[in-house]
Structure 1
Amino acid sequence: MKIVVTGGAGFIGSNLIQALAEIPSVGEIVAVDDLSTGSLDNLLDLPVRLLTGTILDPDLLDEAVRGATSVVHLGALGSVPRSIDNPVGSHHANATGTLMVLEAARRHGVAQTILASSSSIYGANPTLPRRENLRPMPLSPYAVSKLATEAYANAYAACYGMSVLPFRFFNVFGPRQAADHAYAAVVPRFVSAALAGRPLQVHGDGTQTRDFTYVGSVTSVITDAILRGVSAPDTVNLAFGARISLLGMITELEGVLNRRLEVVFGAPRAGDVRDSQADCERLRELFPTVAATSFEDGLRETVDWFSRNRVSVTQVPVARAHRV
């Protein structure tokens, strides 16, 4: 099998490539990445062919996708705040980029295209847990661009008979996740700050909740989907129904590190979802044997990786207010 991973030098992409490299039936892995948010370091010692460039380039996609069994489309400009700062860039990378990848897969008759959407599309919808058939109420350009990703996947399945599998990711975390930029996700920001002895910066009061999903659980589902040729024209939540507040996450991190951490609070961020939790019934139906890594075990693995790699995070000024 030849597998193409867009965004392959990124956090999830490189972890997926590592998992694919352990499967004997996978003969070739091609990564496509423009390295705007991914890193060559993520691919060190992995048996992958890297094509450096944008997914908006049809010639590059033709070279990558030709002869592929499956395409896993993870390439995107992530981050809600980044999309608020640059909505047009977010749209081009995420919505138009998805269209270009689907067109390439259609041109070359790829048997399976797996795509990454985001739980952010639920947005202001207050219903928990989040079922896939809930009304999307996106609060950011990023969420809108990911909703377009799903819509294009569904349309290509309907119009061209393509085998697609769109997933909604929920706050994926783990090794290789970047912490050294202003748009870093909360888990790497907190872990990096804690290891460096800096205060943990919380936007809002910390009671907002997330369904954190360890990257190893995500790659297990995707590799299983590739091996069994799973498709689903309707979007599938890729999370396991856990729900923890940011303050609860900090408590878990204190347990892993066996020490108290200083926390400071700032204003909530525009576009952030208040609460998130996946309904995983559809996921369990499609992938009944996949076991999720617990948040605590995943956090320990993440802390261990950061401890060995000592990644630092860019500081973002906030008003100081100590947790009690």
Structure 2
Amino acid sequence: MITGGAGFIGSNLAHSLAQCPEVSEIRVVDDLSTGTRSNLTGLGVHFREGSVLDADLLDRAFRDVDTIVHLAALPSVPRSVKAPLASHHANATGTLSVLEAARRAGDVHVIAASSSSVYGSNPELPKHERLRPSPMSPYAASKLAAEAYLGAYHHSYGLPVLPFRFFNVYGPRQSTGSAYAAVVPAWISAALSEQSVVVHGDGTQTRDFTYVGTVCRVLTQAALHRVVTPDPVNLAHGTHTSLRTLLTELERATGTTLRRRHTAPRTGDVQHSRADPARLRALFPGIEATPLDEGLRRTIAWFADHSNEFTPREPR
């Protein structure tokens, strides 16, 4: 079961799981607020449209499942600053709703997505999981609350859980058209349409960009091998790429010179983010990260091939 399975990471995971002979059935719950049914085209998934806040829907959807990969969320730091209650309801209360439904369903393995944003203003690099969280946005706070609920349900009810902290995931099927678009798809869209790219700040910010294919390999292995730990796990491999370097890589990959338009830094954005991958490597020693240049080439090729059919969506 993938909650948020019609979204960016969820749909990529569905495509990955569909290639696994060990997986007999894939179910998806998604309210289509940021995802789209077209992301699942060609897959024989059992799709239910609706919210993870709907307990009756979850009880029906979770019946007889082995693993839930909980990806449903309302993403974006800027969106959460604008609408903090919506972010909390979707991310914190939504996770609690999923955990309660999983508990009612029985011994169901719950893998869930948190975010590197929980580290917030803590300046220490790289970010290891023992660091004190210091959220700088309602989105980060909602993800930290979700993590806490996962740990609480493991210790209180014995629920097998695995929380991952995602770091700047990018790749095919990622939205490009909203005001909240992540930097990689937004800049690829600008490059392919010969528009200027918007840089918030001076471009010296650094991020641990993680290709969605790498994320899906980890999630697939976690599900198939029923990996359980109540402690959060960084899902990134410790890269340290500035936005200026990202622009250079995009120019190299597209063969274009990108015009820059600088704006003020965004409220809630952290200056530097880099994962300590030690815990991830201990749990998943056979999985290597996709290099940034290769991931960008694959992502650019996908967006170029789907330019006519890919319709970016504004979030509700």
Distance in 2, matches of 1:14 and 1:314, equals 15
Asked if 1:94 corresponds to 2:91, the answer is yes
Structure-2 residue corresponding to 1:13: 10
Identity of aligned residues (%): 58
Q: Tell me the SS of whatever aligns to 1:197.
A: coil
1:132-163 deviation digits (Å, cap 9, x = unpaired): 01010100000000001100000000000111
Asked if 1:199 corresponds to 2:196, the answer is yes
8 Å contact from structure 1 (residues 21, 46) kept in 2? yes
8 Å contact from structure 2 (residues 191, 256) kept in 1? no
Q: Tell me the SS of whatever aligns to 1:28.
A: coil
1:102-145 deviation digits (Å, cap 9, x = unpaired): 00111011431000000000000000000001010100000000
8 Å contact from structure 2 (residues 175, 313) kept in 1? no
Distance in 2, matches of 1:281 and 1:271, equals 27
1:158 equivalent among 138, 147, 155: 155
Q: Tell me the SS of whatever aligns to 2:111.
A: strand
2:132 equivalent among 132, 135, 159: 135
Distance in 1, matches of 2:312 and 2:27, equals 30
Q: TM-score, normalised by structure 2?
A: 0.97
1:314 CA displacement: 9.2
1:55 CA displacement: 0.3
Distance in 1, matches of 2:238 and 2:107, equals 32
Asked if 1:59 corresponds to 2:56, the answer is yes
8 Å contact from structure 1 (residues 193, 313) kept in 2? no
8 Å contact from structure 1 (residues 65, 105) kept in 2? yes
Asked if 1:309 corresponds to 2:278, the answer is no
1:259 CA displacement: 2.2
Which consecutive unaligned segments of at least 5 residues does structure 2 have? none
8 Å contact from structure 1 (residues 70, 110) kept in 2? no
Distance in 2, matches of 1:306 and 1:167, equals 27
8 Å contact from structure 1 (residues 202, 266) kept in 2? yes
Structure-1 residue corresponding to 2:104: 107
Q: Tell me the SS of whatever aligns to 2:10.
A: helix
Distance in 1, matches of 2:107 and 2:288, equals 28
Counterpart of 2:204, as a letter, is T
Change (3 A) 1:314 1:166: closer
Asked if 1:286 corresponds to 2:283, the answer is yes
Distance in 2, matches of 1:187 and 1:259, equals 15
Distance in 1, matches of 2:91 and 2:155, equals 21
Distance in 1, matches of 2:262 and 2:199, equals 5
Q: Tell me the SS of whatever aligns to 2:69.
A: strand
Counterpart of 2:268, as a letter, is G
1:275 equivalent among 264, 272, 275: 272
8 Å contact from structure 1 (residues 80, 140) kept in 2? yes
Distance in 2, matches of 1:289 and 1:111, equals 25
1:231-258 deviation digits (Å, cap 9, x = unpaired): 1110000000001001100000011012
Distance in 2, matches of 1:28 and 1:312, equals 28
Distance in 1, matches of 2:238 and 2:96, equals 30
Counterpart of 2:187, as a letter, is F
Structure-1 residue corresponding to 2:247: 250
Asked if 1:295 corresponds to 2:292, the answer is yes
Q: TM-score, normalised by structure 1?
A: 0.95
2:259 equivalent among 258, 262, 286: 262
2:221 equivalent among 215, 220, 224: 224
Change (3 A) 1:13 1:84: same
Q: Note the 1:72-91 alignment, pairs <5 A.
A: 72-91=69-88
1:203 CA displacement: 0.5
8 Å contact from structure 1 (residues 119, 169) kept in 2? yes
Count of residue pairs brought into register by the alignment: 312
8 Å contact from structure 1 (residues 196, 312) kept in 2? no
Change (3 A) 1:286 1:75: same
Structure-1 residue corresponding to 2:181: 184
Distance in 1, matches of 2:192 and 2:255, equals 12
Counterpart of 2:25, as a letter, is E
